[in-house]
């Protein structure tokens, strides 16, 4: 038994306003729910890290909220990776300064992991799949002055890698290779294709 | 004599609401002005086409509006190129259908041309530069049904290539290579770097 795409109702286990905006491109009704999952991981490779944390977020929501008919629960997690470092959200302004000085003039990768949980049949346990998407981002050279100017906007807060591609630091992005929405935090195309492939066929 | 970046005032010769939004990432005051330039060209190569039309738009505005101290006039034009075809805005729903059926499942290129006009010294004529940026866009396979669904949203109207990457057709974009904002219609990073390089140094 599987879903009909147009009948799906999405449940997003994320408080990110950027993910809330992007999920709308799927053209389906959705609601948001919190996830208080423990976000620690012993994984070291970025795509494994984001897959595991997205799974923890989705499973926490599944256990605490449950899942109704035609619902698909979505967990997502995003990190920035640069030369064997995994960069999450900055803990302070100085942390953000260090990250941005490291990333400017270089290519880094953004990984978003996604977990889908759905339960087409009440008789059996839930189906779970996780996947990760990578997008490479190239920054042009950014001077210390330009970084200080950006830090003053406070836009870096709550952003993996200390920048938002759609905000004032976006003017320094020379090019990307991959899905742009994945950098914002939600790989719309991959989620759309996965919903059609796994939940509907 | 040249400008100080922070003192620049931008004048955008475009009515596009998407360009108006993106120009804000430059962090400078700006105003918008119309351009009624003739948009015909005998150029055949996409980057030459968009450079020429952006120049015509900027020059029309320069001639009709003039240019004040510290002002930089910006003209821009975007086309989609696929297998030797240059696709502008669709003339009808059927035109849009044909374009989207052609582009789905394939890689195409988006070209935006930009012209900057500035006049640091009243004694001499204006400085003019034009450049073009290319971004490659990959669509996943899109069924005829999915195209019909999209056409019903009317989002294709007034969009080069018959889609807006930030709208409901965005879910079909698998990846891009280049500047995302260039696909939306305004290559923010290239304009930022050009303003610093040409108008300020």
Distance of CA A160 to the CA centre of its chain: 9
pLDDT tens figures, A5-15: 999 999 999 98
Q: Which residue of B has its CA nearest to A149?
A: B27
pLDDT at B201 > cutoff 80: no
**Cβ separation of B181 and A170 shorter than 8 Å?**
yes
| B70-81: average pLDDT | 96
| pLDDT at res. A1 | 64
**Cβ separation of A189 and B140 shorter than 8 Å?**
yes
pLDDT at B63 > cutoff 70: yes
Any residues with CB less than 8 A from the CB of A70 and at least 6 apart, and which?
A: A3, A7, A8, A9
Best CA proximity match to A139, nearest among A103, A166, A167 = A103
How far away is chain A from the Cα of B179, in angstroms, using its nearest Cα? Answer: 4
Q: Which of A7, A38, A47, A77 is catalytic?
A: A77
Backbone phi and psi for residue B102, each to the nearest 5 degrees, phi listed first: -75, -40
Among B180, B186, B200, B201, most A C-beta atoms within 10 A, so best to mutate, is B180
- Sign, CA dihedral B2-B8-B9-B12, equals positive
Among A30, A145, A180, most B C-beta atoms within 10 A, so best to mutate, is A180
Please list the residues that pair with B98 across neighbouring strands: none
Q: Collect the ranges in chain A with pLDDT lower than 70.
A: 1
Cβ atoms < 10 Å from Cβ of A104: 18
In this structure, the strands spanning B71-82 and B9-12 are parallel
Residue B130 and residue B128: Cα distance in Å, rounded? Answer: 7
Q: Confirm or reject contact between B148 and chain A (CB < 8 A).
A: no
Q: Which residue of A has its CA nearest to B150?
A: A27
User: B59 near B37, Cβ under 8 Å?
Assistant: yes
Angle between helices A93-103 and A144-152 (to 10 degrees): 140
Q: Provide, as residue numbers in chain B, all residues whose Cβ is less than 8 Å from the Cβ of A193.
A: 140
Best CA proximity match to B161, nearest among B180, B183, B190 = B183
Give me the residue from A25, A174, A176 closest to B171, CB to CB: A25
Give the A:B interface size as CB pairs under 8 Å.
Answer: 67
**C-alpha distances in Å from residue A27, one per residue of A7, A67, A127, B62:** 11, 20, 22, 43
Task: Say what the ipTM of the complex is.
Answer: 0.91
Give me the residue from A25, A174, A179 closest to B179, CB to CB: A174
Q: DSSP string spanning A157-197?
A: TT-GGG--TTSGGGGGEEEEEE-HHHHHT--HHHHHHHIII
| B63-82: average pLDDT | 95
Residues 15-54 of A with CB under 8 A from B: 25-27
Backbone phi and psi for residue A138, each to the nearest 5 degrees, phi listed first: -110, 120
User: B39 near B13, Cβ under 8 Å?
Assistant: no
Q: Considering chain B, what percentage of its residues have pLDDT values greater than 70?
A: 100
Q: Provide, as residue numbers in chain B, all residues whose Cβ is less than 8 Å from the Cβ of A188.
A: 170-171, 173
Q: Which residue of B has its CA nearest to A169?
A: B25
| pLDDT at res. B1 | 65
pLDDT tens figures, A51-94: 999 999 999 999 999 999 899 999 999 999 999 899 999 999 99
Give the 3-state secondary structure of B155-173: CCCCCHHHCCCCCHHHHHE
For chain B, what is the mean pLDDT? 94
Helix, strand, or coil (residue A80): strand
Helix, strand, or coil (residue A136): strand
Q: Considering chain A, what percentage of its residues have pLDDT values greater than 90?
A: 85
Best CA proximity match to A100, nearest among A155, A157, A147, A149 = A147
Whether B158 is a known active-site residue: answer no
**Cβ separation of A27 and B172 shorter than 8 Å?**
no
Cβ atoms < 10 Å from Cβ of B128: 17
pLDDT tens figures, B107-159: 999 999 999 999 987 778 899 999 999 999 999 999 999 999 999 999 999 99
Q: Confirm or reject contact between A148 and chain B (CB < 8 A).
A: no
Count the residues in chain B: 201
**Chain position carrying tokens 């996409």:** B46
């Amino acid at each position: 038994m599987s879903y009909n795409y147009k009948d799906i109702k999405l449940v997003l286990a994320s408080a990110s306003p950027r993910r809330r905006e992007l999920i709308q491109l799927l053209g389906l009704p959705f609601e948001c729910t919190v996830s208080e999952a423990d976000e620690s991981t012993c994984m070291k490779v970025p795509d494994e890290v984001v897959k595991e944390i997205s799974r923890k977020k989705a499973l926490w929501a599944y256990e605490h909220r449950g899942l109704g008919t035609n619902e698909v629960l979505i967990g997502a997690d995003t990190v920035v990776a640069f030369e064997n470092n995994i960069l999450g959200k900055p803990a302070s302004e100085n942390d953000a300064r260090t990250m941005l000085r490291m990333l400017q003039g270089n290519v880094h990768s953004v990984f978003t992991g996604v977990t889908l949980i759905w339960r087409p049949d009440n008789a059996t346990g839930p189906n779970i799949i996780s996947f990760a998407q990578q997008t490479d981002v190239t920054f042009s050279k950014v001077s210390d002055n330009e970084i200080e100017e950006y830090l003053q906007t406070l836009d870096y807060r709550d952003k993996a890698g200390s920048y938002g591609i759609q905000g004032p630091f976006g003017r320094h992005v020379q090019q990307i290779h991959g899905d742009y929405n994945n950098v914002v935090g939600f790989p719309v195309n991959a989620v759309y294709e996965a919903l059609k492939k796994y939940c509907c066929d």
